[in-house]
C-alpha cells in the first residue's frame, strides 16, 4: 500500500517522512525533501490542481501541508488566504483521492478548531461544537466539515487529528524563544503562573499519525492529542531549564500583575498566551485506538535540546 504524504518539508510532515522512510511513501509538495530517494511529485495544495497522476496506487493520504498560523499577518484578506490552501486545496485533494479509490485520508487539523483556550480545569473534547476564533482555525474547521461530507458521499475513510502546540527538535517561533531563554537561564518574572496547558511532543504526534494509517477503529473519527500532562507556564520553563542542564531561576511575580502590566504595555495577547489555559481530553483517542503517548513531556523537552526523535 502506497502512502501519499503532503507537507513533508514541514515540521510535522518531515518527522512523519523520517518515520516512514523505509515504507512505500510518495511525497506531494512544492519542493523535494532532502531524502533523495523519495518518490516525489511536485504540486501545490490548491483548488485547481489536478492530482490524479500522483494518486495512482495510493491507499492512504497523510495530509499535513497547510498555510500555517501567522502571528504578524500581512495579507489583505487572511481568511481567504487560509481558505485557499487549508480548506479548498484540502477538499480538492480529498475529492480526487476518493475518485482515485484512496481508502483513507488522514487530515492534520488543529485544536484551534475547538477554540483559543479553556477555563481552568475544563477541557476541549473531540465532539465539542467547533468554535474557531481566528482565520486559521476557521479554515481548518471548514475543511473538516467538507471532509466529513466527502466521506459520507464516497465511502472514503477520513481521520481528523487536532494537535495543540507541537514541540520537538527544530521547533520554531515562540517555543524556540522559550528554549533560548531556558538555555541562557535568564531571570524572568514568570515564577507564579498557575495556568494549565497541554502540549504534544512531535514524537507523540507522529506516533498517533502512524497508528491511524491502518487502525480499523480510526475510520471516520476525530482525535485530540497531547502528552496527556497538564503543565503551567512556570512549570514548563522550569522543566525546559532542567532539560538544558541549568538550575531554574524564575521570579514569583503574581499572575494578575503580569497581565495588568502587559495590558498597559499593549501586550495583552502575549500575556494571554503565557497565562491562559488550554486543556484537551484525549481519553477518546486512548480508548478507541488503545493508544498512549510513548514519551513524557520531560522526555520530549530533553529531545528538543538534544535533537533526538525516534
Mark whether 51 is an active-site residue.
no
Cα gap 289→291, rounded to integer Å: 5
Tell me, what DSSP letter sits at residue 76? S
Residue 159 phi, psi dihedral angles, 5° rounding: -120, 125
Name residue 5's beta-bridge partners.
Answer: 27, 62
Tell me, what DSSP letter sits at residue 88? I
Task: Out of 51, 124, 126, 136, pick the active-site residue.
Answer: 136
Nearest to 92 by CA among 39, 44, 126: 44
**Do the Cβ atoms of 46 and 89 come closer than 8 Å?**
yes
**Do the Cβ atoms of 289 and 240 come closer than 8 Å?**
no
**Do the Cβ atoms of 188 and 251 come closer than 8 Å?**
yes
Catalytic residues: 136
Amino acid at each position: 500500500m502506497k502512502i501519499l504524504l503532503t507537507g513533508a518539508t514541514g515540521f510535522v510532515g518531515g518527522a512523519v517522512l523520517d518515520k516512514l522512510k523505509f515504507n512505500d511513501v510518495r511525497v506531494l509538495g512544492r519542493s523535494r525533501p532532502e531524502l533523495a530517494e523519495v518518490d516525489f511529485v511536485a504540486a501545490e495544495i490548491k483548488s485547481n490542481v489536478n492530482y490524479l497522476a500522483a494518486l495512482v496506487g495510493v491507499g492512504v493520504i497523510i495530509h499535513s501541508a497547510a498555510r500555517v498560523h501567522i502571528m504578524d499577518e500581512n495579507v489583505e484578506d487572511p481568511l481567504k488566504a487560509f481558505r485557499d490552501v487549508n480548506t479548498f486545496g484540502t477538499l480538492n485533494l480529498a475529492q480526487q483521492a476518493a475518485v482515485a479509490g484512496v481508502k483513507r485520508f488522514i487530515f492534520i487539523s488543529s485544536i484551534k478548531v475547538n477554540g483559543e483556550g479553556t477555563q481552568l480545569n475544563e477541557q476541549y473534547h473531540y465532539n465539542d461544537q467547533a468554535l474557531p476564533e481566528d482565520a486559521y482555525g476557521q479554515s481548518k474547521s471548514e475543511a473538516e466539515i467538507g471532509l466529513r461530507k466527502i466521506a459520507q458521499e464516497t465511502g472514503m475513510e477520513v481521520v481528523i487529528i487536532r494537535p495543540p502546540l507541537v514541540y520537538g527538535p527544530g521547533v520554531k517561533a515562540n517555543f524556540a524563544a522559550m528554549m533560548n531563554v531556558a538555555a541562557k537561564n535568564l531571570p524572568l518574572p514568570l515564577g507564579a503562573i498557575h495556568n494549565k496547558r497541554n502540549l504534544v511532543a512531535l514524537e507523540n504526534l507522529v506516533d498517533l499519525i502512524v497508528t491511524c494509517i491502518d487502525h480499523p477503529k480510526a475510520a471516520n473519527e476525530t482525535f485530540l492529542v497531547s502528552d496527556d500532562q497538564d503543565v503551567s507556564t512556570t512549570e514548563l520553563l522550569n522543566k525546559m531549564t532542567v532539560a538544558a542542564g541549568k538550575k531554574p531561576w524564575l521570579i514569583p511575580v503574581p499572575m494578575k500583575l503580569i497581565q495588568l502590566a502587559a495590558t498597559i504595555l499593549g501586550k495583552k495577547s502575549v500575556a494571554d498566551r503565557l497565562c491562559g489555559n488550554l486543556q484537551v481530553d484525549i481519553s477518546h483517542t486512548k480508548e478507541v485506538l488503545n493508544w498512549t503517548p510513548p514519551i513524557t513531556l520531560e522526555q520530549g523537552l530533553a529531545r528538543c535540546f538534544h535533537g533526538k526523535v525516534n
